[in-house]
Structure 1
Amino acid sequence: MPLGKTTHDVITHDALLCFQSLYLSITDEVIYGFISKTHQSFRETELNTIAPLISNFFLCSYALINFSCFHASITNSPGWRPLFRYYSPWIALFGAVISVILMFLLTWWAALLTFGIIIFLFGYVAYKKPEVNWGSSIQASTYNMALSYTLSLAGVEDHVKNYRPQCLVLTGAPIMRPALVDFVGSFTKNVSLMICGDILLGDEKSVMSQHNTTNMVKWLNQRKVRSFYTALKASSLREGTQHLLKTSGLGKLKPNIVVMGFKTNWQEGTPHGIDDYINTIYDSFDSNHGVCVLRMMGGLDVSDELQTEVNLTFEIGEAIESEQQNSYATSDIDDTKNIANEQIKTVFQTIQGKNTIDVYWISDDGGLTLLVPYLLTRRKRWRQSKVRVFIIGKQQTMEEDRKEMMNMLQRFRLDVHDVIVMTDSEQPPLAKNTRRFEDLITPFTVNERQLDERTAQEQKKACPWKVTDKEREALRLKSERKVRLNEIIRKNSKNAALVLVSLPVPQADCPSSLYMAWLDTLSCGLHCPVLLIRGNQQNVMTFYCQ
C-alpha cells in the first residue's frame, strides 16, 4: 500500500480506472457500430440508385437478342440455322415484347434512358460506318425487299407519269472521268437508275480484278454518287456497248438512256475508231435508247492528273496493245486503292449561281431535252440557275411561236425563265466557220475527181467512213445549218453554265466521219459544258389531264 493512503483510497482509485476502461470500451463499440451502420446504409443507397439501370440494361439485351433471332428467321436467310429443337420465331418475338414491357414496369425513367443510350450507340455506328461486315439480318431484309419490289415492278406496265431517266454511262473507269459521273449523278441521284459501264478493250488474256471493282464502288460511295458499276471485256467499244445494253439492269430497272463522253481526238485517231464510236450511237438509237454526249472544253479524261495507265475507251485513237491491257489488269492493288481515294473536284460539284441553262430545242424528241434541265434545277447547286429555251421560228410569227411555246411549257409544269425564237437560223454561216468545217472533213474525203469511178467505189467500200463528193453535196445544206447553229449558240450562251443541244438525227446515208464533224461543229467554241441530247421519241412528260 502506498505510503500516506488508506485502503479506501486505493479501492476508489482502482474503481475509477476500471470504470474509465469500461467507458472507453463502450464508447469505441458505439462509435464503430454507428460508422458501420452509416457506411452500410450509404452502400445500400448507392446500389439502389443504379440497380434500375442495371436491370434495364439486362432486359434490353434480352429484348435485342430475342428480336434479332426473330428478324433473322423472317428474312429466310439460308445462313440462319438454329440448333435448338423447340425454337420458334414467335416465341422469340414474345420474349422481346415481354422484356420491353418489364423494362417500363420496373422503372419507366430507366427504360427511357436505356433506349436513349441504345439509339445513340446505333446512330453513332451508322454514322461512322466502320469497314466491318457483320452479316446482319438488316442486310438480308434489304435483299428480300429489293427482290420483292423488283418482281412486283415487272408486272406493271410503264406509264409516262412514272418515267425516269435510267442511264447507262460509258465512263470506262469512273475515277478517270469524274465530270461525266458527277453530271449524270446530278439528275439521277434519289430519282432513277445509274450504271457506270467500264469496257475493257483487249484480248482474252485481260483480267478483271475483283479488287479493282471493289475500289471503283468505294470511290463512287466516297463521292456520294448513287450508281452501280459493271465491267466487261470486249474487242471494241461498239461490241462492249451492245453487251451492256443487253445485260445491264434487271426487270424494269434497265437503262433507257446511253450517256457517253465526246471523242475529242477523233481527228488524230484511226478511222476505225471513229466508225466504232458513231456506230455505238446508231446502235443505241436502234435499241430504242436515248443518247447523251457530254463535251467539256478541257476534256473528260483526267488520267494524266492521276498519273496512271487505264483503259481509255473514248480518248484512244489507235488500237490498244495487249501488253498495256495486261499491265492495267494486273496492276498493284495498293496503287489502285490509292487512286480510288483520289477525289478530283469538277465543275458539277460547285454552286452554279445565277448562270443560265440554255436549251436549244431544235426538234421534238419526246421531251427528254426539257426534262433533264428541270431535274438539274431541283438540286441545290443548280437551284438558282434559270432555264432558257431557244426554238427555231420565222420573223413573221415570232411572237405567236413564243407564246405557244410558253403555254406548252406551263402545261408541262416546267419553270422556264424565257423562250427565245431564233429567226436567223436559215442564214448562211460565215465563210471562216465554213472553211473550218471543210477542213475537218477534208482528211476523210474521197476525191472522186482524181480517181476513176471503179477505184472510188472500191475505196468507199473498203473505207465506209469516208465522204464522197456526192455525199458532201447532198448533205451540204444540213452541214451549213450545223455551222450556223453553232454561231448562234456561241453568241447567245457565252455566260451559260450548261448548254443542251438537240443531237442530230442519225442517217444511214451519212458517213461516220461527216456525222462526227457535225457533232464537233455544234459543240465547239464554248467554255461551258455542252450536252448533245436526244430521246427515243418516247413521251417522258404529261399534261394535267393525262
Structure 2
Amino acid sequence: MAAKNALPNITAESRVAPACKKYRHAPLEYENGLDVIFHMSTLNMHQRICGICMSTRCGSYGQSGSVDNNSPIAIPIGDKGEVSCSRIYPAKKSVKNQALMGFVLNQCPDDLSTIDNKITKKLTTLAAISSSLGKWVKTSVTDLYIKAPVKHVCMAGEQAQAPCSPRDSEDVEIAIGFPKETEPKQGTLMGVFIPCLQNILGIIYYIRFTWIVGMGGILQSLVLVAFCGACTFLTGLSLSAIATNGAMKGGGPYYLIGRALGPEVGISIGLCFFLGNAVAGAMYVLGAVETFLDAIPSAGFFQETVTVVNNTLVNGTTKSGATTISTPSLHDLQIYGVVVTILLCFIVFGGVKIINKVAPAFLVPVLFSILCIYIGVSIAPEPGASKGITGLSIVTLADNWSSEYQPTNNAGVPEPNGSIYWDFNALLGLFFPAVTGIMAGSNRSASLKDTQRSIPVGTLSATLSTTLMYLLSVFLFGALATREELLTDRLLAAAIAWPGPAVIYIGIILSTLGAALQSLTGAPRLLAAIANDDILPILNCFKAYEGSEPHVATLFTSFICIACVVIGNLDLITPTITMFFLLCYAGVNLSCFLLDLLDAPSWRPRWKIHHWVLSLIGASQCIVIMFMISWTFTVVSLALASLIYYYVSLKGKAGDWGDGFKSAYFQLALRSLRSLGDFANCMKKKGRGMSIFVSIIDGDYHESAEEANTAYRQLSAYIDYKHCEGVAEIIVARSISDGFRSIVQIMGLGNLKPNIVVMRYPEIWRRENLITQIPSSFISIINDCIIANKAIVTVKGLDEWPNEYQRLYGTIDLYWIVRDGGLMLLLSQLLLARDGFESCKIQVFCIAEEGTEAEELKADVKKYLYDLRMHAEVIVVTMKSMEAHSGISPNAKKDPQEEYASAQDRIRAYLSQMKETAQREGRPLMEDGRQVVVNEEKVEKFLYTMLKLNTTIVKYSMMAAVVLVSLPPPPLNHPAYCYMEYMDMLVVNVPRMLIVRGYRRDVVTLFT
C-alpha cells in the first residue's frame, strides 16, 4: 500500500523519527514503554503529515486489512520503540477525541501559502512533542517552526480533559525564521538548593541574629530556631508531596494550593503570599540601606539618631554609666530606600533572565561572608576589639544562657523607658523571616530538569542546612560576646569578621539586594499567574501572556514596596511578612493534609515521606505561631484572607480545579449517610430535611434525552431562583404512572429517601384529552405511596397560594378525621414558620358522635396538643351538626347540592357507558386493565359523605388561610373516575387546601 511506504521507520536502536529523504527534521526521541499511535492522512496537496498520539489504545481501533489512502490509520509501536508495520488499523472517529500530541512533517510544503487551516491545526500539535522533549522541529526549506507547550497528556486510555483554566489551554505560536535557543534546564543544585539558600540567608542573620541571642538568651534562641525550623521542615515535606504529584506551572504555592483546595482558597492565600513577597522586598531594601549607612555614616543627609543608654540591665545587674549608640536617620532610610527600590524595579523590568544570570554573583559573597564570620569567631578577640567581645568563653556562654528581655526604642536599642517590650513571642515574629524562602525552588519548576526530584531534595536540604547553621551560630554568638555587646552592637557580625567589617558589609548589601530582586521578580509573576487564571475580573489588568514580562504587576508591586520602605522600621515590617508567609505555609500543609486524608486515586506523589498527621501538625504549628506573634496581626491577616475568599466566591468565575474541601464534604456526607441508619426518617431531624423536585416526561428516553437535559437545567435554575433547598431530577417514562413508580422505588440514597410525596391536585382532569388518563394515574400514585409507606400531600389551589411578598391572615384549619401520625400538625407548624403564614392561628376540628363523647374528645385533643407544645384551638363537630350543615352555605361560590346532583348524573352516565361497553364486548366491567365492581349504593354513600364534609369545611373554614384535611383512600374496586368525583366534591368552594395522608410512623413526639 502507498500509505505503508510513507510511514516513518522507527527502530528499536535509534527511536528517532526521520524526515523524508529530501528534507531533514530535528530528531524526536520517544520514551520506552509507551504505546504510540501514528495517524497518517494523504491530503489533496503536495504535503503528507504523520501524527503521533501518546495513548495505550493502539491496536483497538479496528481489524487489520486494507486502509483507504485518505483515511487516518493507526500503527502500534512496541515497548522498545519498534513499529509493527505489518499491522495497519483504520482509525475510528474516537481517535479524534484523544489529545493529539504531535505531528511530524513527512514532506514539507514548497510554499507557506499552501498551509490552510486544516494543515495548521495539525502543524500545531507538532510543537507538543518538540516542547515536551526540549526539541525544535524545523524545515530547512521554509524555516518554519512552531512552539506550542504541552498542556495535557492522555495516558492509559484517559480521555482528554477540558482546560481547567485559560493557562491550561493550548497556546500556539507560528513564526517564520530560525528558532531561538531554548533555555537550558537546571538541576537540583542551581535550580532549587541555591535559590532557597539565597532567600533563606538574608538580612535577619547579619544584623538581627546576635541581637536575638542577646535578648532571648542561648536556651530560648535554640528553642526559637528549632521551633521555626520544624515549621518550615514540615511545610517542606508537604510541599514535596504536592509538588511530586503532578506537573507544576507558574504561581508556585498558589498553583499548588489552588489546585488542591479550590480557587477561592488558592487566590485568597496566593494574594496574601504576594503581599508577603512585596513587603519582604521592602525589608531587604531597608536592610541593605541600613547596613550601608552604618558602614558609611557620612553618606547620610540627615543627622544620626543618638541614643544614650543609662543603667543598662545586663545579666540581672545594673551597669552604671552611659552608652552612646548611633542609628541612621529615618529620613535617610526612606530616601535611600525609595531610590534603591526604583533602581531595582528598573532591573526587574529588564527581565528575569538578567536576574537569573547575576543570582550566583549575589550568592557567592553571602557564603564567603558567612565563612569569614566563622573564621572571625574562632580567632576573636583581635587587638583593638571591643571589651564586650570576649572570644569563645564558657563563662560568657553561661552568662548568656538565660533570657534578659528589656524595653527598647523603635530602632531596637535598649532603653529603660523604651516603648517596645520584647518577649519570646515578639522574637518569634522578628526571626521567622530568616527561615522563609523554601518556596524559591517551587517557583522555578518550569526551568528544572526533574521537578519531582529536585524540589524535595533541594528544598529540604536547604532547610536542614540553614537550620543547623542557625543552631551552631546561637552557641557561637552566645559564647563570643557579653549580653550588652550583643544588644548594643547592631553589626557585631561585621565587627568580628575576618579580615575586616568591609567583607560583611559587602556581603550584607549584596545578599539583601539579591533577595530584594528575587522578591520583586517573584511577586509580580505570582500576581500575573493569579490574573491569568481569569477567576477574578478585577485582576485582568495584571495579566501577562506566556513569554512576556508582567510589567503592570511589577509596577503595582513596586508601589507596595515603596510604601513599606517609607515606613522605614524594619522591626515593624517583619511581623507583617511573617503573618503572610505563615498563612501560605498553613495552606500548603492543609492542602497536603486533605489530600492525604482523602486518599483520592489521583493522589500518587513520588515523595513518600509524608503523612496527614505531619501535615496537620505543620498547619497547626503555623496557626499557633501566628497567634503567638500577635493575635491582632493574625486576626487582621485571617480577616483579609476571608474577605478575599468571600469576594472570589461572590464575584469570581468558576474554576474546575478540584476542591479539597468539597471532597472532604463529600466523604463526610457519605460516611454520615452510611451511619444514619433508620434515623434518616426520625422526627428529630434538623430543619426541613432534603427536598427532591421531580418532573416526569412522557416518552422514550433515547428520543427525549435532550429534552430531559433541557428540563433539568430549567428546573434547577428555577429552584435556585426561588431559593429552595433541594435538588432537581427529571424522569423519562412511557407513562406518568410508570415514572412515578420508578421514583417511589429508587429515588434517594441509602436510608436517605423521601418519606413525603407532595403533588398538585389535578383540577384540570375533566378536560377531554385528560379525562381517561389523570384519574387512573392519580389513583395509581396514591396506591403506590400507600404500598411504599410514604406520606402524601396533595395541594389544591396552588395558584392561589401566596408568593414571597404576600401575607395571609386568619387561621390554618385542620380537619382531623383519621390518625396520621401527627403529620397535619407538623405541616401546620411548618406553615407558621413561613413568612406568608406567620400571622395565622391554628384550629383543630374533630368529628365526634353525640353526647359526652364530644367533650371527652375535646379534652383529650387539648391534652395531646399541650404535651406536643403546640398552640391551637380545638373545635369538635358532631355528626348531627354535619347533617344540619349539608345545605347551602352563604359563602359558597357554588351550590353544594347542585354540585352533588351534577356529580351523581356524571357518575351514572359513566357507569352506564362502562356497562354497555362490557356487555357489547362480553366481558366483566374493566377499567385500565383491572376489574371493578360497581355498587351504586356505596358510590352514592361515599359521595354523600364527601358532601357533608365539604359543607362543614365551607361553613367553618371558608375564610381560612389554608385547610388541611385527611385524604380518603381510594375505595377498593371503585372506578377511578368515581374517586375523582369524590375528591372534587371534597374540595369544591375551598380555595386553598392540603389533602394529607400520613404513614405508619409518628412525625411529632411528646419528648424533646
* TM-score, scaled relative to structure 2: 0.41
Instruction: Please name the residue that 1:219 is paired with.
Output: 718
Q: Secondary structure at the match of 1:199?
A: strand
1:255-334 to 2 correspondences below 5 Å: 255-268=754-767, 269-296=770-797, 298=799
Q: Per-residue deviation at 1:422?
A: 4.4
SS at 1:207 equivalent: helix
Q: In the alignment, what sits opposite 2:752?
A: 253
Q: Is 1:377 the equivalent of 2:835?
A: no
Pick from 400, 416, 427 the counterpart of residue 872 of structure 2: 416
Aligned to 1:80: 603
Residue 695 (structure 2) pairs with residue 202 (structure 1)? no
* Residue-by-residue CA offset, 1:438-481 (whole Å, 9 max, x unaligned): 4246445222899598349747326679998x533222222112
Contact preservation (8 Å) 2:932, 2:973: no
> SS of the residue aligned with 1:447?
helix
The one-character-per-residue Cα deviations of 1:184-243 (angstroms, maximum 9, x if unpaired) are: xxxxx9332211122111134111454643443343233221112221211111111110
Tell me, what secondary structure is at the counterpart of 1:191? Answer: coil
Q: How does 1:84-103 map to 2 (within 5 A)?
A: 84-103=607-626
The reply on whether 1:406 has 2:862 as its aligned counterpart is yes
> 2 CA distance for matches of 1:244 and 1:271?
23
Q: How far did 1:504 drift? A: 0.8
The equivalent of 1:518 in structure 2 is 982
1:50 equivalenced with 2:573 (yes/no): yes
Q: Distance in 2 between matches of 1:106 and 1:290?
A: 59
Q: Distance in 2 between matches of 1:79 and 1:256?
A: 37
Tell me, what secondary structure is at the counterpart of 2:773? helix
Q: CA deviation at 1:248?
A: 0.5
Question: Deviation of residue 145 (structure 1)?
Answer: 0.8
Q: How does 1:128-527 map to 2 (within 5 A)?
A: 131-154=654-677, 156=678, 162-163=682-683, 190-204=687-701, 205-208=703-706, 209-210=708-709, 212-268=711-767, 269-296=770-797, 298=799, 347-350=802-805, 352=807, 354-397=809-852, 398-423=854-879, 424-427=881-884, 429-430=886-887, 432-440=895-903, 442-443=905-906, 445-447=910-912, 454-455=919-920, 458=923, 460-461=925-926, 470-527=934-991
Measure the CA separation in 2 of the matches of 1:449 and 1:54: 88
**Per-residue deviation, residues 382-415 of structure 1 (Å, max 9, x unmatched):** 3332110111124433333322221222223322
Match of 2:587 among 59, 64, 70: 64
State the 1:139 CA deviation.
0.5
CA distance change for structure 1 residues 483 and 140 in 2, over 3 Å: closer, same or farther? same
Q: Give the counterpart letter for 2:962 in structure 1.
A: L
The aligned residue for residue 1004 of structure 2 is: 541
Contact 1:275–1:465, Cα closer than 8 Å, also in 2: no
CA 1:421–1:452 in 2, change beyond 3 Å: closer, same or farther?
closer
> Contact (CA 8 Å) 2:595, 2:603: kept in 1 or not?
yes
* Structure 2 partner of 1:12: none
The AA in structure 2 aligned to 1:41 is L
The residue type paired with residue 957 of structure 2 is S
Alpha-carbon contact 1:59-1:99 (below 8 Å) kept = yes
Q: 1:138 to 1:157 in 2, by over 3 A?
A: closer
The answer to whether the 8 Å contact 2:810/2:841 transfers is yes
How much has 1:517 moved relative to structure 2?
1.0
Q: Residues of 2 paired with 1:87 and 1:140: CA distance?
A: 20
Separation (CA, whole Å) in 2 of partners of 1:218 and 1:510: 41
- CA separation of 1:148 and 1:30: change in aligned 2, threshold 3 A: closer
Q: RMSD of the alignment, in Å?
A: 3.4
Say whether the 8 Å CA contact 1:290–1:536 is kept in structure 2.
yes
- What's 1:172 paired with? none
Q: CA separation of 1:54/1:364 partners in 2, compared to 1, >3 Å: closer, same or farther?
A: same
Contact 2:867 2:1006 in 1 (8 A): yes
- Partner amino acid, structure 2, of 1:192: G
Q: Which residue of the partner structure matches residue 383 of structure 2?
A: none
Contact kept? 1:467, 1:514, Cα under 8 Å: no
SS in 2 for 1:446: helix
Letter in 2 for 1:412: L
Instruction: Say whether the 8 Å CA contact 2:918–2:924 is kept in structure 1.
Output: no
**How many pairs align?**
443
SS in 2 for 1:192: coil
Q: Distance between the aligned counterparts of 1:510 and 1:475, measured in 2?
A: 8
Q: Closer, same or farther in 2 for the Cα pair 1:79/1:379, shift >3 Å?
A: farther
- Report the identity percentage: 25
Paired residue secondary structure (1:163): coil
Under a length normalisation based on structure 1, what TM-score does the superposition of the two structures give?
0.72
Q: Could you list the per-position Cα deviations for residues 339-372 of structure 1 after superposition, in whole angstroms to 9, with x for gaps in the alignment?
A: xxxxxxx615345454211111112222222221
Work out which of the residue numbers 294, 308, 332 in structure 2 matches 1:40. Answer: 332
Q: Is the 8 A contact 1:354 1:384 kept in 2?
A: yes
Structure 1 127/410 Cα, relative in aligned 2: closer, same or farther at 3 Å? Answer: farther
* 1:153 CA displacement: 1.5
Instruction: Provide the rounded CA distance (Å) in 1 between the counterparts of 2:614 and 2:937.
Output: 83
**Does the CA contact (< 8 Å) of 1:295 and 1:531 recur in 2?**
yes
Of the two, which has the highest radius of gyration?
A: 2
Which residue of structure 1 lines up, in the alignment, with residue 78 of structure 2?
none
Amino acid at match of 2:575: P
Higher normalized contact order (CA 8 Å, seq sep 6+, divided by chain length): 1
Supply the AA of the counterpart residue of 1:502. Answer: S
Q: Mean alpha-carbon deviation: is it higher for 205-214 or for 145-154?
A: 205-214
Measure the CA separation in 1 of the matches of 2:739 and 2:584.
53
Alignment partners' CA distance in 1, 2:721 and 2:645: 21
C-alpha spacing 1:105/1:366, structure 2 compared with 1 (3 Å): closer
Shift in Å, 1:490: 1.6
Gaps of 5+ in 1: 1-28, 166-188, 300-345
- Measure the CA separation in 1 of the matches of 2:977 and 2:833: 38
Residues 128 and 414 of structure 1, relative CA distance in 2, 3 Å threshold: farther
Counterpart in the other structure of 2:288: none
Please give the per-residue CA displacement for 1:473-508, whole angstroms capped at 9, x wherever unaligned.
Answer: 222222112112112212222221111111112221
| Partner of residue 405, structure 2 | none
| Amino acid in structure 2 at the alignment position of 1:372 | L
Query: 2:683 is matched by which residue type in structure 1?
Result: Y
